[in-house]
Amino acid sequence: MCARPAPGSAEGERRHRACARVSVGRAERQRGQRAAAGAVPARTAGWWSRLRRRRARPSPAQHSQAQPSSQQPSRAERAAAAAATAGSANRAWDTAAALRAAEPTGIQREKEGTRPLSLSAETTREIREKEIGHRRRRRRRRRAMAMARQVLCVCALLSVPLARSQPIRYSVAEEADSGSLVGNLAQDAALPPAQLSARRARLLAEDGRQHFRLDRASGRLVVADRLDREQLCAQSDTCTLAFELLLADPLQFFRVEVALQDINDHSPVFPAERVTFKILETSDPGSRFPLEVARDLDVGSNNVQAYSISPENEYFSVSYDSRVTGKKSIELVLEKPLDREEQAEMHFSVIAVDGGSPPRSGTTQVHIVVLDVNDNAPIFTQEEYIGKVVENVPTGSVLLTVLATDRDSGINGDISYQFSEAVSPSESLFEIDYTTGEIKLRKPLDFEAAETHELTVRATDGGGLSAICKVLVEVLDVNDNAPELVVSSFSSPLPENSAPGTVVALFTVRDRDAGANGKVSCALDDQLVFSLRPAYKNYYELVTVSALDREETAQYIVTVTAADAGSPPLTSSHTFTVAISDVNDNAPVFTQSSYTMYVRENNVPSVLVGAVSAADADVGLNAKVTYSLSAGQAAERPWCSCLSVNSESGQVFVLRALDYEQLRQSEVVVSASDAGSPPLRANVTVRLLVLDENDNAPLVLYPAPDSGPASSELVPVSAEAGYLVSKVVAVDADSGQNSWLSYHLLRATDPGLFAVAAQSGEVRLRRPVTDRDSVKHKLVVLVRDNGRPPLSATAALSALLLKDFSDLRQPHGSPATDDQPGSLTTYLILALVSVSLLFLASTAAFVARRLCKRKELKAAHVLDGADNLPSGLAEAAAAGTLPHPYCYEISLTTGSGNSEFKFLKPFGPSLTPQPWAMAGGPSEEQVFPCVPVPTEDVTPDDAGTVSAEQFNRLSFN
């Protein structure tokens, strides 16, 4: 781009016109080169209409002011030149572009007084023919490209190597935001995106730093972190970040190279903000004074491109060129002789401008001091000094010496040496002697950090004249770096059921030394479980070779040793701590094979009776044991619902109160299961024993404890001592000593007449009956168990003392009266007749019902007198004992001929079998209690008889 001249400057106008001519010529040459190379033209559709729309007619005032210029080419000449250029380029687009370039702007048309360009029919036809020819060539080119692509696809399918021979290349601008797209790596590697996750794709950089990130789902390669080209590659012309795309199953590598494009993010910076030159006034025009170049961290076109002086002056100009080393140097050029008497000092600025868009600039202030003498500047004996030194040379050593001479004498010939004021990182490692020029080592060198160091030395005489030379220090490598082991992936913990051959770790080894010093080999310590397997180039895999068992060994310490081939060799080691994760391969184990627990009946609900315990050899969730009742027990054994097991602690609880008489013992199955997937379980049997308590009072079976009148036992007055009057039968639902019963006479009309056996409950006469004894006696027998505290029950008995059975008609408990003999005889006759008839009817009904239902109670017997009773029944009545199927009693009320009957109903079928019966309790026989039938239910009209309805109401069922 040509700078516009300053107003009123003839020299500036001349330079501007010359620069414009050069720029036009350069543009024409570039278009010709593109046309010769077959560049693809841009679209030309509609160019003619656009060209016509640009035409504009000038106003009459413009026509009057327009004057033809003989010094500048006319529009027709510019159009012809543009058409010739378009013809050489053989492209319609270049023709249109040339026409637009040749056509003056609106301002120029106003100055020149010209009209817009119009083309002839011949020119238009020529343009159209060239456009048709270009279209034909473009179709032929497309067909050729399609055939080439098919051939390339066939060649690519013939071979699938382990690693691509050609790397995948991308480019990205520096300072790109995190997450910016670099490219579709899956598509460029010809891999389906699904394989990236299935084959565990990952990026492995040589320096171990992850500048990019791979999205496995889409295969996109994006920027992972801020990229600073100047920090990563310094001022290298090319900056490439290389890494490997690693895929497993099967193992495959792709090398990827991302070129980091520089952006103009740094401004030029001069080493010093102010520079002073002492120049002799006798210096000839054209004399050059070296100036330190401005440093720009950007590269290429973004680096420094031009220098200028501001404000411009007639004495100095700036000139810059590139030396052999590739570094640019600038010089101030004296354009006009100096005159110290006219101007002793000068001040101006030197501006450095880079080639970025927009451009950046840097400025340094220049101070010129005009001197009178010293017309010879120092001269170095060599333009460039080269020195070689090993990297382990001690600090303070002299590396080389620079030497400069000055033909002046005196103070103007005294030369001092110093490094350039722009101290580079390399120059900070060295120091120079101010007077001798010896360059010494200031800090240790490192071949791996930089193989060469370039220095700039300035020699200045006493008069202020100076010279610059370059010093190149080459560093020689020694084996001073041990191998490095970089882990790419490491799997820990490792499941204990991993198969042999499982990859535990993937790592790479490298040595920053060169040659044999950088060749590395790896070895593994004595191991029977792991081994090393080379993977690719300098990659190794740590794999398993045998089965693992966490319960046997929960952790392995594996040491990998890397050694280089130097002399002597250097080694380094890395330790892998491989933890073995648990797999649920052990079921819980109970501490006992079975458990027995005890609980007393009538317990408090939710009482703790014991606990089960199980242990699991696994760890974590696989060892967390939970307890529960085995499934299905609630349906098979309903009583299991009264038990509960705490799932965490294994404690067994009884949820409700138990009754020993209903449940004496039970067995449940408790399961212990872990929390693994799938869970493992173990079962154990828990036996629960219920302990009896004295919670049941004795139950009197005979005489029956009902609400009716007490039954009476018939005792002849002729009975002797020991005569069995009756027997009290009682049972206790408890067990053990709680069910041991004892019988005691609690009350009696005459306690001295009766005695009760403590063990059997038999009521016997203690002495013979006398005439003084009352006819009717009442007894209360106490039945008591042996519990603590004891429980008891009472049984009421009545006994009738009779001389003969004719006394049955006499009222109970009153002596016979002699003043009513006729009335008693009449009563006895009526009673005898009634009892006889009832006996016959009952016998007939009994026989009939026995025939129909042999196992049921069908009839009742009525005793009317001793002469009419069968001998067996009379003995039973006299003795007061119970016959096997039934028993009966007859009692007479005073002044009434109604009888009261008591029938026995079968006891066994209506009661649930008691444990004492099964265990051989108080009696081996089934006991039938008597059921009293009150005489109030029998009407006086039917005295001594029982109707069918009353008979059915009796407790036979």
Domain assignments of the chain as residue spans, ordered by start? 70-159, 168-261, 264-372, 376-478, 484-581, 589-691, 699-953
Q: The tokens 């008609």 sit on which residue?
A: 809
For the beta sheet containing 288-291, the strands, ordered from the edge strand earlier in sequence to the opposite edge, are 288-291, 328-334, 316-322
User: Is the entire prediction scored with pTM above 0.85?
Assistant: no
What's the confidence (pLDDT) of residue 86? 41
What's the confidence (pLDDT) of residue 153? 52
Nearest-10 Cα torsion for 823, 828, 833, 838: 120
pLDDT in tens, 200-234: 888 888 777 888 889 988 999 998 888 887 787 87
Q: Please state, in angstroms and rounded to a whole number, the distance separating the CA atoms of residues 893 and 814.
A: 11
Q: Please state, in angstroms and rounded to a whole number, the distance separating the CA atoms of residues 333 and 300.
A: 26
Write the CB contacts of 64 (distance below 8 Å, at least 6 apart in sequence).
none
pLDDT in tens, 391-437: 889 999 999 999 999 887 778 889 999 987 665 656 578 999 999 99
In this predicted structure, which of 148-152, 318-322, 534-538, 776-780 has the lowest mean pLDDT? 148-152
CA distances from 903 to 861, 954, 956 (A): 8, 8, 8
Average pLDDT, the chain: 75
- pLDDT category at 543 given cuts 50, 70, 90 is very high
User: Mean pLDDT over residues 309-330, rounded?
Assistant: 76
**Domain 484-581 fold:** Immunoglobulin-like (2.60.40)
- pLDDT category at 58 given cuts 50, 70, 90 is very low
What's the confidence (pLDDT) of residue 164? 54
What's the confidence (pLDDT) of residue 415? 92
Q: The tokens 């009513």 sit on which residue?
A: 820
Q: Please state, in angstroms and rounded to a whole number, the distance separating the CA atoms of residues 627 and 595.
A: 14
pLDDT in tens, 96-118: 444 444 444 443 443 344 444 45
User: Mean pLDDT over residues 925-938, rounded?
Assistant: 35
Q: Please state, in angstroms and rounded to a whole number, the distance separating the CA atoms of residues 756 and 796.
A: 13
Gyration radius (Cα) of the chain, Å: 65
**Domain 589-691 fold:** Immunoglobulin-like (2.60.40)
Q: Which residue has the higher pLDDT, 316 or 810?
A: 316
Whether omega before 167 lies within 30 degrees of 0, making that bond cis, reads: no
Beta bridge partners of 702: 729
Could you write out the DSSP letters of every residue in 373-404? Answer: S-----EES-SEEEEEEETTPPTT-EEEE--E
What's the confidence (pLDDT) of residue 952? 41
* Confidence check: pLDDT of 883 > 80: no
* Confidence check: pLDDT of 80 > 70: no
What's the confidence (pLDDT) of residue 574? 92
pLDDT in tens, 491-500: 888 998 899 9
pLDDT in tens, 229-263: 778 787 777 888 888 888 888 888 889 998 888 78
CATH number of 168-261: 2.60.40.60
For residues 581 and 636, the answer to whether their CB atoms sit within 8 Å is no
* Confidence check: pLDDT of 90 > 80: no
Q: Which residue has the higher pLDDT, 771 or 615?
A: 615
User: Mean pLDDT over residues 698-725, rounded?
Assistant: 81
What's the confidence (pLDDT) of residue 299? 81
User: Mean pLDDT over residues 512-527, rounded?
Assistant: 85
Task: Name the percent of the chain lying above pLDDT 90.
Answer: 25
Whether omega before 789 lies within 30 degrees of 0, making that bond cis, reads: yes
Q: Which two tokens stand for residue 216?
A: 């496995």
- pLDDT category at 597 given cuts 50, 70, 90 is very high
> Are domains 264-372 and 484-581 of this chain identical in fold?
yes
What's the confidence (pLDDT) of residue 542? 92
Whether omega before 493 lies within 30 degrees of 0, making that bond cis, reads: yes
What's the confidence (pLDDT) of residue 147? 80
pLDDT in tens, 144-165: 887 877 666 555 444 444 445 6
User: Mean pLDDT over residues 372-399, rounded?
Assistant: 88
pLDDT in tens, 658-711: 888 888 888 899 999 999 889 999 999 999 999 888 888 899 988 887 655 556
Could you write out the DSSP letters of every residue in 519-560? Answer: -EEEEE-S-SSEEEEEEETTEEEEEE-S---TTT-SEEEEEE
CATH number of 376-478: 2.60.40.60
Residue 332 DSSP class: E
- Closest residue by Cα to residue 389 from 325, 478, 513: 478
Q: Please state, in angstroms and rounded to a whole number, the distance separating the CA atoms of residues 902 and 880.
A: 13
* Confidence check: pLDDT of 347 > 90: yes
In this predicted structure, which of 36-45, 183-192, 510-519, 612-621 has the lowest mean pLDDT? 36-45
* Confidence check: pLDDT of 875 > 50: no
- pLDDT category at 864 given cuts 50, 70, 90 is very low
Q: Please state, in angstroms and rounded to a whole number, the distance separating the CA atoms of residues 238 and 229.
A: 10
Q: Which CATH architecture does the domain made up of 699-953 adopt?
A: Sandwich (2.60)
User: Mean pLDDT over residues 600-614, rounded?
Assistant: 92
pLDDT in tens, 264-281: 888 899 988 999 998 888
Beta bridge partners of 112: none
Could you write out the DSSP letters of every residue in 433-472? Answer: -TTT-EEEE-S---TTT-SEEEEEEEEE-TTS-EEEEEEE
Whether omega before 311 lies within 30 degrees of 0, making that bond cis, reads: yes
**CATH superfamily placement of domain 264-372:** Cadherins (2.60.40.60)
What's the confidence (pLDDT) of residue 938? 35
What's the confidence (pLDDT) of residue 766? 92
Q: Which residue has the higher pLDDT, 648 or 842?
A: 648
What's the confidence (pLDDT) of residue 780? 92
